[in-house]
């Protein structure tokens, strides 16, 4: 309608300047009505005879409202493109040195029922046969085992009677000596995690196979062991070869991602565990890492199935690198029942070391002695609690002192 009005004014002979001025006012009013504002001050008319002002350039399509005239807004990312997430902040594992001190402190704060009962019996003025029976019962209930219990009691009888010990400090020193001797500090508890060199001169990572039945905290222990190695400055690759438990690979991958450790896993449940283990070792070798930790399935119902599964994994792994360690994870609170499981794994897998989880349960501390005697291999690592860094190298002296600080 505005254009028709202007054409009519030109037809009746109205001067061109006046028509242009009127058109400008109409355009401004129409633009103001669109934005909800009214321009109450039109621009001054140009002098008579002046050329018509040039039309305002059309704003670019991508210019932002309110931006300076002639500038172009930066391109916006499409709405369906998410902003890049910042990389996660990696956790720094606690130093390994001094971790077992926390176990000793926990045993002390809890009253250490094992150490307390032993000291109470041995501190009596006159030890009767009933007292010695009570001492023996205390050790058996602590899962020390029948053989080691007899050795401890016989040695204590001799020392107390022959030397006439009565002072609490003397009794405690004798008991400490006997317990330490039975835990055996002479065993080699070092963890084989150093890269090795093959006969052809190639350097290959240390391969640690972790075995054990379900429910002992095996996968969690693998994750915590990765943190121990990272804290020591080692590079690690994890192999999620427990392909029968749906959440095992996810759980292991979560542990590794927290400290920047890669996890090699299968895309499907029920995949061949030996294949996953082989891929993990090959990846570790290609990337030049120090250690490959391989988690295995524990849902094996009979000895024959266990032998077949672990035997195949071992054969496949050794094509890429020799096995450095086979660690058996046991729940310390299961006591003597756990030894039956341990015997089967020891026969099949060639166990080189024991990891005892939940050792902060003080009444069952004697399982350390029993499992070493039964399997002939040392306890190398102990789990102290639920925290991510509650896994520590086993120290016999710190363990015995923790028991006797009650």
DSSP code, position 54: P
The token pair at 340 is 């039956």
Closest CA to 405 of 112, 100, 99: 112
- On whether 224 is known to bind a ligand per the annotation, the reply is no
- On whether 296 is known to bind a ligand per the annotation, the reply is yes
- On whether 97 is known to bind a ligand per the annotation, the reply is no
- On whether 352 is known to bind a ligand per the annotation, the reply is no
Q: How far apart are CA 253 and CA 238, in angstroms?
A: 8
The token pair at 266 is 């299968």
Do the Cβ atoms of 180 and 115 come closer than 8 Å? no
Alpha-helical (H) ranges within 247-358 are 248-258, 273-287, 303-317, 336-349
The token pair at 90 is 């990696």
- On whether 212 is known to bind a ligand per the annotation, the reply is yes
- On whether 214 is known to bind a ligand per the annotation, the reply is yes
- On whether 359 is known to bind a ligand per the annotation, the reply is yes
Tally Cβ neighbours within 10 Å of residue 44: 7
- On whether 295 is known to bind a ligand per the annotation, the reply is yes
- On whether 37 is known to bind a ligand per the annotation, the reply is no
- On whether 297 is known to bind a ligand per the annotation, the reply is yes
- On whether 260 is known to bind a ligand per the annotation, the reply is no
Closest CA to 165 of 154, 179, 175, 150: 175
- On whether 263 is known to bind a ligand per the annotation, the reply is no
- On whether 256 is known to bind a ligand per the annotation, the reply is no
CA distances from 300 to 212, 306, 310, 312, 329 (A): 10, 6, 10, 14, 15
- On whether 358 is known to bind a ligand per the annotation, the reply is yes
- Which residues fall in the annotated binding site? 212-219, 295-299, 357-360
- Which residues fall in the annotated binding site for GTP? 212-219, 295-299, 357-360
């Amino acid at each position: 309608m505005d254009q028709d009005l202007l054409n009519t004014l030109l037809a009746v002979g109205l001067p061109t300047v006046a028509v242009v001025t009127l058109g400008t006012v109409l355009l401004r009013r129409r633009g103001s009505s669109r934005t909800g504002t009214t321009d109450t001050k039109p621009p001054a008319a140009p002098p008579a005879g002046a050329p018509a002002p040039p039309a305002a350039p059309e704003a670019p399509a991508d210019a932002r409202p309110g931006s300076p005239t002639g500038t172009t807004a930066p391109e916006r990312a499409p709405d369906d493109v998410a902003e890049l997430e910042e990389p996660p902040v990696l956790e720094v594992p606690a130093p390994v040195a001094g971790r077992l001190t926390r176990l000793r402190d926990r045993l002390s704060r809890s009253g250490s029922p094992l150490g307390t009962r032993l000291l109470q019996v041995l501190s009596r003025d006159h030890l009767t046969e009933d007292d010695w029976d009570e001492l023996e019962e205390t050790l058996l209930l602590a899962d020390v085992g029948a053989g080691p219990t007899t050795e401890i009691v016989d040695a204590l009888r001799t020392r107390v009677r022959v030397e006439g010990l009565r002072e609490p400090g003397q009794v405690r020193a004798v008991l400490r000596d006997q317990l330490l001797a039975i835990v055996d500090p002479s065993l080699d508890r070092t963890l084989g995690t150093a890269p090795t060199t093959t006969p052809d001169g190639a350097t290959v990572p240390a391969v640690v196979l972790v075995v054990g039945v379900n429910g002992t905290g095996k996968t969690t222990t693998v994750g915590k062991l990765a943190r121990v190695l990272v804290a020591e400055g080692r590079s690690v690759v994890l192999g999620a070869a427990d392909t029968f438990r749906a959440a095992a690979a996810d759980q292991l991958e979560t542990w590794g991602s927290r400290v920047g450790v890669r996890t090699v896993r299968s895309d499907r449940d029920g995949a061949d565990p030996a294949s996953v283990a082989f891929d993990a070792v090959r990846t570790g070798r290609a990337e030049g890492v120090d250690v490959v930790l391989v988690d295995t399935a524990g849902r094996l119902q009979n000895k024959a199935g266990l032998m077949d599964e672990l035997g195949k994994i071992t054969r496949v792994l050794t094509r890429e690198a020799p096995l450095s360690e086979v660690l058996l994870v046991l729940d310390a609170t299961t006591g003597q029942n756990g030894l039956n499981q341990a015997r089967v794994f020891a026969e099949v897998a060639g166990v080189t070391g024991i990891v005892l989880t939940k050792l902060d349960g003080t009444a069952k501390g004697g399982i350390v002695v029993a499992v070493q005697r039964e399997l002939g291999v040392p306890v190398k690592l102990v789990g102290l609690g639920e925290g991510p860094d509650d896994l520590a190298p086993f120290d016999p002296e710190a363990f015995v002192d923790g028991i006797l600080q009650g």
